[in-house]
């Protein structure tokens, strides 16, 4: 089996498995318990926060809270920030469904929500951002790396304009496809940054949210007051330490995945377009006049797993992000996504490219 759908999820690494086993079987104690074993696990959680904070380039572990997923982290960041007297809320059209659908929900609730257009490369259109941002803007969310196309947004550029126009506006970024892959120290003016473990060889069901000022966030989940009363619920010590294992293996060496991506692009055949050109980990391809879903299933029959795009919207018709980039409908229908990991090889890329070309040729001949 060749797995080229790593933007959806990744194979868990050995370090994560080691920690998960240790804190599921031996040190399984509730971190909120007052006896020593519970207190020790609480210290372990704090240690993991320190490691993540250091990786993000921030100083304090207390700026990190753990969540059940990046989707939850995004919801806490957005819904926990919202106040009744908020002015304009700006989101990009390229956001993950956990951000985009939350924004749409708020718009339906009567908030002044507007969306920033995408340019042809899949990046948030800075000129459109400059037109829409006002002194009355209260919240801005700009994804760091797009999960569909790999397009990278220059967060510092957006933040600089935000500082000049509406310095008190809250700035959030979904950093799921950037964290552990793109070396970036958080700009001091980023208020909220969401990350996930299972995109970097950690366990599913654990995410985290960087919060610059916890006093500006209200909880959206209520309970026992864990995570500074911002995310109540018994701490998932096994997955949190599994997250640590994944972070400990971060290398930022993307030469291997870049070589794979470059090989695929160079050896593709047929009438296709490359959508976006940023992260080496993601390759979005669109074929004219071919159904992308058919390609996915044909490759599956050859023990090759790819996707049409985001797993969170894989069953939906069309592609919101590609359409926002101005891609014609006949290319949108023929879109597929290949996404790579440190575990993939050039030999796999050769097989996938050959089989992909064969599938396209067969479909074109029908």
Active-site positions read 312
Q: Identify the residue whose tokens are 């006949």.
A: 330
């Amino acid at each position: 089996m060749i797995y080229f759908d790593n933007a959806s999820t990744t194979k868990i690494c050995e370090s994560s498995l080691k920690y998960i086993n240790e804190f599921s079987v031996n040190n399984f104690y509730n971190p909120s318990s007052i006896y020593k074993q519970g207190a020790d696990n609480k210290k372990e959680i704090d240690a993991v926060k320190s490691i993540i904070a250091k990786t993000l380039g921030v100083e304090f572990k207390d700026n990190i809270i753990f969540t059940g997923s990046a989707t939850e982290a995004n919801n806490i960041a957005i819904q926990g920030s919202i106040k009744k007297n908020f002015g304009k809320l700006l989101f990009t059209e390229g956001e993950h469904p956990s951000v985009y659908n939350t924004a749409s929900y708020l718009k339906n609730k009567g908030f002044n929500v507007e969306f920033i257009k995408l340019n042809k490369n899949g990046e948030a259109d800075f000129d459109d951002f400059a037109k829409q941002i006002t002194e009355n803007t209260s919240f801005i969310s700009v994804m760091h790396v797009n999960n569909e196309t790999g397009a990278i947004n220059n967060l510092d550029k957006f933040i600089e304009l935000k500082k000049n126009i509406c310095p008190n506006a809250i700035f959030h970024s979904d950093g799921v496809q950037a964290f552990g892959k793109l070396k970036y120290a958080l700009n001091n003016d980023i208020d909220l940054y969401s990350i996930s473990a299972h995109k970097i060889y950690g366990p599913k069901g654990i995410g985290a949210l960087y919060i610059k000022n916890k006093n500006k966030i209200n909880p959206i989940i209520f309970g026992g007051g864990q995570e500074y009363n911002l995310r109540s619920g018994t701490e998932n010590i096994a997955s949190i330490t599994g997250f640590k294992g994944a972070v400990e293996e971060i290398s930022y060496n993307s030469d291997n995945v870049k070589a794979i991506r470059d090989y695929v692009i160079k050896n593709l055949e047929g009438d296709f377009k490359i959508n976006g050109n940023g992260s080496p980990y993601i390759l979005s391809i669109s074929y004219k006049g071919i159904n992308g879903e058919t390609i996915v299933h044909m490759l599956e029959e050859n023990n090759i797993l790819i996707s049409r795009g985001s797993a969170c919207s894989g069953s939906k018709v069309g592609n919101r992000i590609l359409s926002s980039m101005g891609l014609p409908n006949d290319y949108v229908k023929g879109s597929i996504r290949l996404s790579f990991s440190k575990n993939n090889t050039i030999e796999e890329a050769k097989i996938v490219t050959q089989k992909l070309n064969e599938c396209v040729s067969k479909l074109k001949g029908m």
